[in-house]
Amino acid sequence: MRCIYCKGTCVKKGIRNSVQKYRCKECSKYFQAAHKKSRRQRYMLRIGMLTCRGCGIRDISVLLQLPKTTVQRWLLRLAAKCTYKPHFEPGSVFEVDELRTFCGHKRQEHWVLYGMERSSGRIVCMLNGPRNRLNLQQVIDTILLWQPQCIYTDGLPVYRSIVPVTKHRVFRRCTNHIERHNLTLRQHIRRLSRHTLGYTRSAEMLTAVLQIYCFVKGT
């Protein structure tokens, strides 16, 4: 066994928590051959998997026997580490749509705005907030970076002024793929379900769950 610090000769120096410890003869430092994943790392992976399978915070808390506040905190940390960056070839076809929900109560309307590449079904970008020109412009600008062949949208009038005329397409059943993905989101994420008591009370938590589902899972 060689020292991980100075590559010197090491000897066994006891066992702690069922793990063999070593001591270097030259630098006198202690170390172990391998480290187990911490409790937080193991549970964060499980929280991400359960979130992608439609479990809410209370369900995860019961299954993993963790406090709800701990699940919420680790869920936000996992969402902050999402670094999924899709790659699309120039000339791809994209669809853009808006998903209506509410946050806190039904009088507080909330929208999920996102774009999807048609052939692969991967999400380009996703924004949460009001359905206004500013937010829709951010989604369209992100899609235009990939030099799309065309962008399919519904008949919302604001799209005519933010999508280039040469790339904009609007006709019947042109957004079938993203509309079907909206249904998948409502089935897998309880926060987006209609006629249910499991609604979202925090826009921050809704954003975190969507990031984990769409970018970690890579759908």
166: number of Cβ within 10 Å: 6
Classify residue 199 by its DSSP letter. Answer: -
State mean pLDDT over 14-29.
85
Nearest to 121 by CA among 214, 7, 14, 24: 214
The whole-angstrom separation of Cα 132 and Cα 212 is: 25
Q: In this predicted model, which residue has the larger pLDDT, 89 or 96?
A: 96
pLDDT value of residue 218 = 46
pLDDT value of residue 38 = 64
40 contacts 74 by C-beta, under 8 angstroms = yes
**74: part of which helix (H) or strand (E)?**
helix 68-80
The whole-angstrom separation of Cα 213 and Cα 38 is: 23
State mean pLDDT over 141-151.
92
**203: part of which helix (H) or strand (E)?**
helix 203-211
Does the pLDDT at position 35 exceed 80?
Answer: no
pLDDT value of residue 219 = 44
Whether the CA torsion 138, 142, 147, 152 is positive or negative: it is: negative
The whole-angstrom separation of Cα 180 and Cα 102 is: 20
Q: In this predicted model, which residue has the larger pLDDT, 219 or 70?
A: 70
The whole-angstrom separation of Cα 126 and Cα 114 is: 4
Looking at 5-19, 32-46, 148-162, which range is the least confident one? 32-46
State mean pLDDT over 196-206.
78
User: pLDDT confidence of 36, banded at 50, 70, 90?
Assistant: low
203 contacts 103 by C-beta, under 8 angstroms = yes
State mean pLDDT over 187-211.
81
Measured CA distances, 13 to 1, 8, 16, 21, 28 (Å): 12, 15, 10, 5, 11
State mean pLDDT over 178-199.
81
